[in-house]
Amino acid sequence: MISSNAERTAHFVFDGCDTVDLARIYGTPLYVMSETMIRSRLREIRESFLERHPNTFAVYASKAFQTLEICKIVESEGIGLDVVSGGELYAAKRADFPMDRIFFHGNSKTPAELEMAVDFGVGRVVVDNLDELRILDGLARSRGRRVPIIFRLTPGVDSHTHEYVSTGRLDSKFGIPLDPKVRDAYVGAALAMKGVELKGFHFHVGSQILVRDSHLKALEIVLGFMGEVKRDYGFEASDLNLGGGFGVHYTEQDAPEPIAHFTDAMVAAVDSGCSRLGLARPRLIIEPGRWIVAEAGITLYTIGSVKEIPGIKTYVGVDGGMPDNPRPALYGARYEALIANKADAAPAGTYTIAGKCCETGDILIRDIALPAPEAGDIVAVSTTGAYNHSMASNYNRLPRPAVVMTAAGRHRLSVRRESFEDLIARELG
């Protein structure tokens, strides 16, 4: 949205807030998250999945963006939480999130993290390997407990996304390959243990997926596995977690679908598959993360320099970069942006937005059409709500940005900006 008046060039407005004003009030770099958009996505999940299909549940994959406030927003909308570390679990506990609505994922959970999961009473531990299974069984038995678990499976499906976010292939650090010998080692062991209660299975084929083919292919494979387990062990799953990975709009090349495009087809496939295989239809769970928060976030930067290399390109230097958004450097992620204080101005050329780190690869956006940039202008990069704040670092001793939450023209500080003192607070010297 663009706002303007007779006295100034049009400004970019996000969730009813003038982004130039936000930059002035809170400083830059600045993460801006729209509570309005987050709640809209959570309600779409409720209306398109939970209320449309019986015996379903949804959890937010909080690794995409986790703060105390987002935990409270998710809880208030009746959605569960997916955590992947002791830190994420601890934050959820501090936010008073109901522990029985938490799924604890991760391929290399430590004994201390598993102990937290048992003591906190999480709803499900998603088990990834036999070592974890044995540790969990021992912890539970020592406390006179029986912990509900589901197994993460690797269905061996290519999701046609970047290899760094493709998680369903056979050669993956995640999950249990569906080889009969491996199956027997895991399922047989779990069913014989006194400290764990096997509830079902989980798969996740990757991230930023824009078509549903890989989800449906994986589902076909997993349903066949469930039929084999019933035949050989008499065990029927009460839970089937269908994962997440639903894609969002980063650039004009992306054509994301509503969540029902994925979930309606998967529910239909489960219903028909269970009928064909003689299986009781389990509770179906989805775990979107990026899909909920990515488009709800933007990042604001201040331009510090404009440097032309005649005949080659013009670099626009900003006051952030790979520490607040490592995705372009990690796997070539692409973004759209505009100059927030010149939102109605015509493009003057093609520019490359460069970060401030001492790394040649610290480039946020290559070859983007913009109005003539000047030092002091505010750049707004869109769709940064997922895997920016959560992956931020202090490389080059840069303080991590603040997070501002907006809601229909109102704004509030959600996470304060780090100070230089914060950067050395843990150091002894």
List, for residues 340-351, the tens digit of each pLDDT value. 999 999 999 999
Q: Is the pLDDT of residue 10 over 70?
A: yes
Domain end, chosen from 293, 325, 340, is at: 293
- Which residue, 242, 264, 293, sits at the end of a domain? 293
Q: Give the global pTM.
A: 0.93
Asked if residue 298 belongs to a domain, the reply is: yes
236 within some domain: yes
In this structure, the answer to whether residues 237 and 134 fall within a common structural domain is yes
Q: Which residues carry out catalysis?
A: 358
Q: Are 180 and 226 found together in one domain?
A: yes
pLDDT of residue 172: 61
Q: What is the pLDDT of residue 178?
A: 77
- pLDDT score of 176: 80
The verdict on 183 and 156 lying in the same domain is yes
Q: pLDDT tens digit string along 260-269?
A: 999 999 999 9
Residues 390 and 285 in one domain: no
CA dihedral 273, 257, 48, 174 (to 10 degrees): 60
Q: Which pLDDT score, from 0 to 100, does residue 429 have?
A: 81
Tell whether 184 and 166 lie within a shared domain: yes
pLDDT of residue 9: 66
Q: What is the pLDDT of residues 207-239, one digit of tens each?
A: 899 999 999 999 999 999 999 999 999 999 999
How many structural domains are present in the chain? 2
Q: What is the CATH number of the domain that holds 106?
A: 3.20.20.10
Q: Does residue 116 share a domain with residue 248? A: yes
Q: Which of residues 229, 264, 293 is at a domain's end?
A: 293
Residues 275 and 392 in one domain: no
Q: Tell me the pLDDT tens digit for each residue of 322-378.
A: 999 999 999 999 999 999 999 999 999 999 999 999 999 999 999 999 999 999 999
Mean pLDDT across 72-96: 98
Please give the average per-residue pLDDT across 136-152, as a whole number. 97
| Residues 235 and 378 both lie in one domain | no
* Domain contains 429: no
Do 300 and 219 belong to one domain?
no
- CATH number of domain containing 321: 2.40.37.10
Q: Which domain holds residue 358?
A: 2-33+294-424
- Residue 307 in any domain: the answer is yes
In the chain, the percentage of residues whose pLDDT exceeds 90 is 89
Interval 103-115: pLDDT, tens: 999 999 999 999 9
The rounded mean pLDDT for the chain is 93
* Residue 7 pLDDT level (bands cut at 50, 70, 90): very low
Do 56 and 99 lie in a common domain? yes
Same domain, residue pair 88 and 210: yes
241 domain-assigned: yes
For 151-162, what is the mean pLDDT? 72
Q: Which two tokens stand for residue 34?
A: 């729209």
Minimal CA–CA distance to 222: which of 172, 160, 284? 284
Which of 21-30, 203-212, 292-301, 341-350 is predicted least confidently? Answer: 203-212
| In a shared domain, residues 183 and 324 | no
Mean pLDDT, rounded, for 35-64: 98
% the chain with pLDDT above 70: 94
